[in-house]
Chain A
Amino acid sequence: MKTQTIIALKFLLIMTVLTGVIYPFFMTGVAQLTFRAKANGSLIIKDGKIIGSELIGQKFDSTIYFWSRPSAIDYNPIPSGASNLGPTSDKLKKQVVERRILFAIMNTITDTTAIPKEMIFASASGLDPHISQKAALLQVDRVAKARNFNTIQKHNLVQSVKNLTEKPQFLVLGEERVNVLALNLELNKLDQNITNNK
């Protein structure tokens, strides 16, 4: 029995070193050599400043931007989380009604059932970076108007939404989606080009 105790202690120590130190350090080393940008959080850096991560959603509620999904944590990632409201929650029911109305009014939509579901429900992580293509297209009019775009510019914007739409991976996996931060960066770029041309 005494030998078992010693073996147990030694074995725990060895496993801690192997799986708790060597394994994560080795994997970090390989990851940093092979996929450096991804391993460090797919950060987007502009003019030397970090403006976010490709994978982490940001809060967009201004009229001049495409909106991201509702978030239970208001896109503050420490810590990530969801509403966890159940299917018969009165609070959720009210939230859904409010979000439907707000989205419909702001984007002049008459049929509220046409609003994509992700725009009226909060995500699981609170950091969902995506919305559907439809949800983006429904916002084009508002965004274009808020930025005083002419018809050609608006047409380019629609084109950008389509260009930035990610198809299901390998054609079958997951859903078609648009990265909101990427889209809004593109939007700013379009706006800039216009100002420069003027």
Chain B
Amino acid sequence: MNEAIQLILFMVALAALAPLLGKYMAKVFMGEKHIMKPVFGWFEKSVYRVSGIKSEEEMNWKTYLYGVLLFNLFGFVLLFLLQILQAYLPLNTEKLPNVSWHLAFNTAMSFTTNTNWQSYSGENTLSYMVQMLGLTVQNFVSAATGISVVLALIRGLTRKTTDSLGNFWADMTRSVVYVLLPLAIILTMALVGQGAVQTFSHYVKATTLQGTEQVIPLGPAASQIAIKQLGTNGGGFFNSNSSHPFENPSPFSNFLEMFALIIISASLVFTYGHYAKSKRHARAIFITMYILFAVGIAISLWSEYSHNDVLNVSGGMEGKETRFGVMNSVLWSVTTTVTSNGSVNAMHDSLSPLSGMVSMFNMMLGEIIFGGVGSGLYGIIIFIILTVFIAGLMVGRTPEYLGKKVEAFEMKMAILAVLAPSIVIKLFSAIACSVPAGLSSLNNAGPHGLSEILYAFSSAAGNNGSAFAGLNANTVFYNLMIGFGMLIGRFGVIVPVMAIAGSMAKKKITPVSLGTFKTDNWLFVLLLIGVILIVGGLTFFPPLALGPIVEHLLMNLGVTF
């Protein structure tokens, strides 16, 4: 009963608050008056002044993209350097050594691409300095990058016959100053109030009741956890992420963190509605996402509560925390994989086969059911373009989206954006399955071993960051493979998206006629769901059949590995 109430509470809160935050963000990015302007307006202006940004100067798609790539490159280099030099830098209370080059490469890639895959384990690898200046900063700016890119795409779709897509630096500044920072400040305080740690003290040594020594790690964790949830980042302060009692101390903190990781992505859909002057279209996109999300939750809950004949238990607690229970663990696992957050409050490796598959499938679809902050929306817009194209083919008309003709160039770019992550998942998994360096890291045998590899590259390509964490990913092989996987999964999508933004911006808007395919009704919702599932299903059904589906069938026969 309690389970049902919690689930309903979460789903209702999501549907109720997303339009409100979406409206607020529309005001922020359209440059209208809003409540945070008097509080942080001076700050926005000083950022512009100090960095020499002319916020009114609009960019074409190439200049905008150049800014995105350049800024991310610098961010990557800074984070890489901070790690390989951490022993010489201050605020290293536990005297941790420099991070190895390949782990530093992986983590820097992981955080600049908004993946936040954890090859590192926070409490014994990274100093407070790296956690703050490296990880926390990238948590903010990689999320802001996602928002900026989608804003450019939205402007490209909604403006007509123009080159200008907005100013990248202004979009970044507004994302951080008016959206991410205020929410992060509120969430940090709520988390500390529940017991999350926020201190610069050394780790403490305790003598337990049974007389052994226990080293208790501390750190400025709450401030980082707040933004890692809000920015769909997900890289933990501590190794076990949001299952750690200092990251997620109570059921209430759990609810807040789970809500924080989805709310901005969900709200941006409504922001889009304001730009496109079509709330109905935004609602249709939101409903599409909401349905896919709800179905995923249902399948995952059913699977997890079903009886496991191997362990003779229903709703097993391996890799779960008592305070959250089974329902909250499953709900989180679906929420964190439909968005590209990737934080965990339970270990996905120990979930039942089909629950694990739901998580994997969410990532394989390309992180478009809400998805990452910004990236989820530009991801689903790619699928919408595919949908209107297919609908256009069916009736024999040139496809249009928001009154703009979708032509060969946009289709090429859209296909590129869909294929880039898919290729990473299948090709890289295939490589890992065929070399000793790939197989020696496995923690589980049999089909579950394949799932571990498949999950890792789905997570990398979808920029999710969650893991079947039994896989020992801190090896040269996996650090490099996953590192490049994340790179392709991020920029292999951003570049074509920006190209689409540029080419759509140039087009005229044709007025709506009788033959226009409507993108705001149930028919559109159903078609979009169909395209998403067919593209995802056809691409990934074979490997999923060999991994989780076979495992599920064998589990029912009591087979172990």
Contact = CB atoms under 8 A, between A and B. Distances in A.
Interface of A: 1, 3-12, 14-16, 18-21, 23-24, 27-28, 30-32, 34-35, 38-43, 49-62, 65, 69, 75-90, 92-93, 96, 113, 117-118, 120-132, 168-170, 172-175, 177, 181, 184-185, 188
A132 B223 CA distance: 31
Contact of A41 (B67, B197, B209): B197
B216 A31 contact: no
Interface stretch (B24-32, B309-317, B475-483): B309-317
A87 B551 contact: yes
A60 B192 contact: no
Given A31-B189, A88-B310, A39 B197 contact: yes
Interface stretch (B345-353, B368-376, B408-416, B532-540): B345-353
A20 B137 contact: yes
Contact of A117 (B192, B315, B351): B315
A58 B189 contact: no
Given A32-B198, A51-B208, 13 more contacts: A10-B51, A20-B132, A41-B246, A50-B207, A58-B214, A59-B212, A80-B238, A118-B317, A120-B317, A124-B321, A126-B240, A128-B322, A174-B324
Interface stretch (B99-107, B117-125, B499-507): B117-125
Contacts of B554: 88
Contacts of A168: 2, 251
A78 B238 CA distance: 9
Contacts of A121: 316-320
27 contacts: A4-B63, A8-B71, A10-B51, A10-B52, A11-B71, A24-B136, A28-B200, A58-B210, A65-B209, A65-B210, A77-B216, A83-B470, A85-B444, A86-B448, A86-B451, A87-B308, A88-B444, A88-B555, A90-B561, A118-B317, A121-B320, A127-B244, A128-B323, A174-B250, A174-B254, A174-B323, A175-B251
Most buried by A among B53, B193, B310, B329: B310
B133 interface: yes
Given A87-B308, A87-B311, A87-B350, A15 B323 contact: no
Contact of B220 (A10, A28, A174): A28
A24 B321 contact: no
Nearest to B72: A8
Contacts of B194: 38
Interface stretch (B154-162, B180-188, B425-433, B515-523): B180-188
Contact of B448 (A42, A87, A96, A184): A87
A170 B448 contact: no
Interface in B212-235: 212, 214-218, 220, 222-224, 227
Contacts of A185: 209
Contacts, number: 361
A150 B7 CA distance: 45
Contacts of A128: 245, 321-323
A16 B444 contact: no
A46 to B, nearest CB: 10
Interface residues of B, number: 123
B345 A19 contact: no
B448 to A, nearest CB: 4
A80 B209 contact: no
A129 B207 contact: no
B311 A96 contact: yes
A92 B67 contact: no
B169 interface: yes
B244 A80 contact: yes
A173 to B, nearest CB: 4
Nearest to B9: A172
B27 to A, nearest CB: 22
Interface in B35-71: 47, 50-53, 63, 66-67, 70-71
Contact of A28 (B78, B223, B317): B223
B222 A14 contact: no
Which of B194, B218, B311, B445 is the most central at the interface, judged by chain A CB atoms within 10 Å of its CB? B311
Contact of B322 (A19, A41, A132): A132
B133 A16 contact: yes
